[in-house]
A = this chain, B = another copy of it.
């Protein structure tokens, strides 16, 4: 069931968050190969919107990193937008401290990057307490910004690709806290765009506020030997201390046990949305 590429029409338009050199663009390359048209987007929300409004056939978003954890805002967007997850992939992430040519440590006062990248390099950055950390919407975008604005007192954290694309210097390579640094990405499409089905199924649901109700929700999968590989909870706005639960199941929605389990879950969950059932691109 594991695939090495997602088969789609040549020259499909793929929206990704960030600027050229972004990790999401690299993930898009892994999923779709060379025959695609990349569409950079400013925010994750813009990726969802680009697919919704048919400016792109597919979107690629990061969803989880092994050091920084889930990218929670993207979970929230999955619940909000009526799109389907059609594939997942993961990348080994190497972060680099990138500066203008001729710039060294003493000149740097600020470091720009995406908050998740700053978090993945927190141990390295904690050695430079005077460095102001500036959140930027994208890792590669922070290199572009530094380049375009001629910022010589700043550094950016991004991929080696991004340094190359903008002609900048890598001051320190591999500054992530741990080499086991992987990010998982999801590929999005409008519903019905690809046949659904694959080794993984992702859902999001809300439960009544009753004792033991999460246990009952998990039981619908355990009773059918369906393996749960990820659970995430997010607050519901306007309902303090109530949550939506996101789950990834190792099960194909076309299987009998998966469809029975989801029908059983509907009995318990006033809100249930199937995000997608999809292959893993390795």
Interface residues in chain A, defined as those with a beta carbon under 8 Å from any beta carbon in chain B: 64-69, 72-73, 115, 118-119, 132-135, 177-178, 180, 182, 211-212, 214-216, 218-219, 221-222, 225-235, 237-241, 243
Instruction: Return 23 A-B CB contacts under 8 Å, by A number.
Output: A64-B235, A65-B235, A66-B241, A67-B235, A68-B235, A69-B72, A69-B234, A69-B235, A115-B115, A115-B135, A118-B135, A134-B134, A177-B237, A178-B238, A180-B238, A180-B239, A180-B240, A182-B240, A211-B227, A215-B218, A215-B221, A215-B228, A229-B241
Q: A215-B218, A218-B218 are in contact. Are A233 and B232 (CB under 8 A)?
A: yes
Q: Is the CB of B180 within 8 A of A237?
A: yes
Q: Bound state CA distance, A239 and B232, in angstroms? A: 18
> Are B233 and A214 within 8 A (Cβ)?
no
Q: Indicate how many identical chains form the complex.
A: 2
Asked whether A219 lies within 8 Å of B229 as measured between CB atoms, the reply is no
Query: Chain B nearest CB: distance from A7 CB in Å?
Result: 26
User: Which of A67, A214, A216 has the most chain B CB atoms inside 10 A of its CB?
Assistant: A214
Closest to A239 in B: B180
Nearest residue in B to A137 (C-beta to C-beta)? Answer: B133
| CA gap between A239 and B214 in the complex, in Å | 26
Given A66-B241, A115-B115, A235-B66, CB of A219 within 8 Å of CB of B215: yes
**Once the chains bind, are B222 and A215 in contact (CB under 8 Å)?**
yes
CB distance from A254 to the nearest CB of B (A): 20
Which 10 pairs across A and B sit closest by C-beta, in order of nearness? A215-B222, A211-B227, A66-B240, A215-B218, A212-B222, A135-B135, A69-B235, A178-B237, A134-B134, A180-B238
B residues in contact with A182, CB < 8 Å:
240
CB–CB A231/B231 < 8 A: yes
CB distance from A185 to the nearest CB of B (A): 14
Residues of B within 8 A of A134 (CB): 132, 134-135
Q: Check if B228 sits within 8 Å of A231, measured CB to CB.
A: no
Min CB gap A187→B, angstroms: 18
- Extra A-B contacts (17), CB below 8 Å, given A67-B237, A215-B219: A66-B235, A66-B240, A134-B134, A178-B238, A182-B240, A211-B228, A212-B227, A212-B228, A214-B218, A214-B231, A215-B215, A215-B218, A215-B228, A218-B218, A231-B231, A231-B233, A232-B233
Contact residues in B for A225 (Cβ distance below 8 Å): 211-212
